[in-house]
Amino acid sequence: MKVLLITSGYNRIARSLISNKEIELVGVAFTRQRNKKTQLKTRIANIVFDISCRIFRILRSGKRLPVFFLYKDNQKALVEWSKKLNTDLTIVYSSPFIFIDELVHSSPLGTINIHPSLLPKYRGPQPLLWQYLDFDLNAGVTIHYIAKKEDTGDIIMQREFKIAIGTPYIQTVHNSENIGYQMIIDVMESIEKGQYTRIKQPEHSSTERAYRIDKKTIFERIQWEEWSVERIYHLLSGMFTAAELSKYAAELPLDKDLKIKGYSNNSHYPLSEVGKVIKHEKGFNIVCKNGLIQIAQNVVNMFVIVEVLNNI
């Protein structure tokens, strides 16, 4: 089965598919957005992606790998490119735009998407980010066929996983990608054998669209007087470093050695102090309605370093 991968970056799923010698990957299309301000940067990035992708493929499998750079306005060119490669199945992981019908239906076995949520929840480009905002610890990955509307196509497979409170966002992304890769291997085998089911999604989702937002907006959405200390800690620890927090919490100094350490359910501060940063001798506390988020110096434990060196 000849496979075409469409993805926005050189992520874990892309690396794993490219390096798997048992998968007949015939090409990779990297999605891009046109922006005059970053045109030069995009061109340089494209060259780096192209070279690194080709070298990685040759080193891992000894095979060359064609690369295509996909923009919203050159999708028809990708359709023709895919036909020349005799693509059987198209796999998508992360794209900043919706595909045209000709592209969706260009592969005989269809076009399937790896989406990091349990659809129909969190449709959109930033599902994991919005799970952090909603304090939804029940995460998952869905593999589904692409339809006209965003993330609404028939579901082939879903798997769940838990997000531990305070887990860094990037670690959750990596967990999701590792699971997604294992799932896509299983799905490809099922499709090749014709042994799979298609489950239709409900029209509406129980969550709002997971659209893109920046960190400033994330911080501004915190409801200090309503949310628990656990929820706020999970969001801050997951999405921010202490240095990044200093941009939005004026009382917090810009110090790269500061770290979000944890939280406690005890607070002697009045409700009028909720959302404020309080300095103390060991660091800082962010006051929440039912507890404190602790920020302190990230002290390096020399005993741990010595132990690691002794075991090398």
pLDDT of residue 72 exceeding 60, the answer is yes
Q: What is the pTM of this model?
A: 0.87
Whether cis (ω within 30° of 0) applies to the bond prior to 120 is yes
CA 82 to chain centre: 26
Among 190-194, 239-243, 301-305, where is mean pLDDT lowest? 301-305
Report d(CA 251, CA 246) in Å as an integer: 7
Write the burial class of residue 134 (CB in 10 Å: 0-12 exposed, 13-18 middle, 19+ buried).
middle
Domain 2-193 bears CATH identifier 3.40.50.170:
yes
Kindly report, as residue ranges, where domains of CATH 3.40.50.170 are found in the chain.
2-193
16, HSE (Cβ side, Cα atoms, 13 Å): 14
Report d(CA 70, CA 111) in Å as an integer: 15
The two three-digit tokens of residue 250, written as one number: 């004026």
pLDDT tens-place string over residues 101-133: 999 999 999 999 999 999 999 999 999 999 999
Q: In angstroms, what CA-CA distances link 226 with 28, 187, 236, 249, 276?
A: 46, 42, 16, 18, 15
